[in-house]
Structure 1
Amino acid sequence: MILRSMLFVPADSEKKLAKADDAGADAIILDLEDSVAEARKGAARNLAREYLQARPQDGRKSQLYVRINPLGTDTSMRDLAAVSSGRPDGILLPKCAGPEDVEFISRQLDDLENRAGALEGSTEIMAIAGETAQGVLALSTYTAAMPRLRRLAGLSWGPWDLATDLGAATNKGADGGYAFTYRLAMSMTLLAAKAARIQAIDTVHAEFKDDSGLLAWCKTIRHEGWNGKLAIHPAQVPIIHEGFRPSPEEVAEAEQIIKAFADATTGVVALNGAMLDRPHLKQAEYILALRNAG
């Protein structure tokens, strides 16, 4: 499933949790990390577990992920233990330092799924791998590690945490866009995800009332190859979906390409004055998959 939108919901807010089902997001992320104060972590775990248990996997409107706290403390392990019985569709791993972190979480999930009676391997992992300097530098190592990372479904990045890790005053350049280091981290995340044949999910658009800016950005990154985007407000979800929706012209061209290959007896076809090969077919199939996503 293409995850165009992944909506963060603070797991300690019963009011926001109650509205999450109607947001229409491809995935909802029950957040136990940044949006939850330390004193509320226990309550958030309990609410997240109850939310998951009330929504069996085969009847969920959206995929349900849980963002746990970073590795390195007992908090992340308590998070995993608390929500595993609810059978989340995935775990969002923040500040991921590299493939070894994904392997570690995967081993914990093996045990927890067994205890919960869940199918082994049914819980995916999405890693926010571009939030620290170490994580960015490790991005090139995921492809070789993929045979050991059977749960890894995608990679994302985070310019704000990365700026903090670097000791930077801002992640913005003089033009208002990301400064070079952050554009580099973003590009490396995209390349790492695509090389590993998993989804590339862009970070949040923090200005949650900037509808036009969000729409334009989503259109831009879709054309670059990103599969989806994190969201911090339900109102962002339909805008993200619109930004990732292919145009009627793109759909028509994709249908032409697929038909041309279906009628062809060779691996190369001529269409509208251009020679097309298998990569064009794969791109056309992806365009239709995006169209069919809604």
Structure 2
Amino acid sequence: MKLRSLLFVPGDRPERFPKAVATGADALILDLEDSVVPERKPEARAAVRAWIEAPREDGPAVFVRVNPIDSDEVAADLEALAGLSLDGVVLPKAEGAESVAMLLDRLPGDYLVLPVASETPAAVFQLGTFAGVAGRLAGVTWGAEDLPASIGAATAREDDGSYTDPYRVVRALTLFGAHAAGVPAIETVFPDFRNLDALAAYAARGQRDGFTGMLAIHPTQVSVINDAFTPSEAEIAHAKAVIAAFDANPGAGALQLDGKMIDAPHLKSARRLLALVG
């Protein structure tokens, strides 16, 4: 499953579902949590179920974000999803592999889970546990909004939009936790959806650092994110050249390519890049 861009859509706005499909997002996340006020959650559940059940042409993967596993709302969410043909469930405020296992126990089926893995202080200390449920994960993502609120911090960001030190740490731990589990690392949202230049720079940094996709909160963000997480023709050509060089020199530990030394980590990166493009 290719997951460069994952677009949130409020579950109580079904008129937006077809428009979201048309954005080119790799996945839609139909939301039953934060974007839906409590009194509209029953309406949202009904709308999400009806849309997923209706016949439609092939399109993006479909995920549903439920409410936290320890909330009063999650039982009704899971009842609404029972038996549906969807690709996965986004679990907010996940606290490590145990939270994922609890969700899977309550929602029978072959669904994948995308945990939002850093939204509580306790969750930060569980970011290395996801290998235990890796076979049921679509990836691991993080959030920089709920965590500062939960500890009374004023913000997670500096005036220039960059993260303050505590949240740089959380981002890095999420990145390494996902890769330790062998699943995609999904970058968090960029809230300033009107600033596409800043989004492009943010997404490019995520791709540089090892994230393989990113959450989107507005349709205009999708194409920018897709571009950032799609390897360029030059990158693909270089990766093929690295692999070809080692294929032509079996047993070599290090080689020269275009005047630079390449070794085993370069070969691993090249194979990973080509796997991303299929």
Deviation (angstroms), 1:181: 0.6
Within 2, Cα distance between the matches of 1:252 and 1:78?
50
**2:268 maps to which residue?**
282
**Contact conserved, 1:49 with 1:85, CA < 8 A, in 2?**
no
Paired AA for residue 168 in structure 2: R
**Is the counterpart of residue 133 in structure 1 residue 118 in structure 2?**
no
**1:35 maps to which residue?**
35
**1:116 maps to which residue?**
none
Equivalent in 83, 86, 108 of residue 85 of structure 1: 83
Matches within 5 A, 1:1-294: 1-55=1-55, 60-110=58-108, 113=109, 122-143=110-131, 146=132, 148-266=133-251, 268-272=253-257, 273-290=259-276, 292=277
Distance 1:64 1:107, change over 3 A: same
CA-to-aligned-CA distance 1:73-129 (integer Å, 9 cap, x gap): 23112111202322210000000122111111111223xx3xxxxxxxx21000001
CA-to-aligned-CA distance 1:165-194 (integer Å, 9 cap, x gap): 111111123544111111111111001101
**Contact conserved, 1:204 with 1:230, CA < 8 A, in 2?**
yes
Deviation (angstroms), 1:282: 2.6
Paired AA for residue 14 in structure 1: P
Number of equivalent positions: 277
Deviation (angstroms), 1:274: 4.2
Paired AA for residue 116 in structure 2: I
**Contact conserved, 1:46 with 1:82, CA < 8 A, in 2?**
yes
Deviation (angstroms), 1:278: 3.7
CA-to-aligned-CA distance 1:242-263 (integer Å, 9 cap, x gap): 1112233322211211222333
CA-to-aligned-CA distance 1:5-62 (integer Å, 9 cap, x gap): 0000011102211212111111100100011111110111111111111257xx5311
**Contact conserved, 1:50 with 1:86, CA < 8 A, in 2?**
no
More displaced, 277-286 or 123-132? 277-286
Paired AA for residue 93 in structure 2: K
Paired AA for residue 126 in structure 1: L
Deviation (angstroms), 1:160: 0.7
Which has more helix, going by share of residues?
A: 1
Within 2, Cα distance between the matches of 1:151 and 1:102?
9
Within 2, Cα distance between the matches of 1:189 and 1:252?
30
TM-score normalised by the chain length of structure 1: 0.88
Distance 1:286 1:170, change over 3 A: same
Within 2, Cα distance between the matches of 1:150 and 1:287?
21
Paired AA for residue 150 in structure 1: G
Unpaired runs of at least 5, structure 2? none
CA-to-aligned-CA distance 1:127-153 (integer Å, 9 cap, x gap): 00111111112112333xx2x453122
More displaced, 257-266 or 226-235? 257-266
**Contact conserved, 2:254 with 2:264, CA < 8 A, in 1?**
no
**1:119 maps to which residue?**
none
More displaced, 166-175 or 262-271? 262-271
Secondary structure of 2:222's counterpart equals helix
**1:117 maps to which residue?**
none
Deviation (angstroms), 1:269: 4.9
**Contact conserved, 1:260 with 1:269, CA < 8 A, in 2?**
no
Paired AA for residue 285 in structure 1: R
Unpaired runs of at least 5, structure 1? 114-121
Q: Percent identity?
A: 40
Within 1, Cα distance between the matches of 2:62 and 2:220?
18
Root-mean-square deviation (Å):
1.8
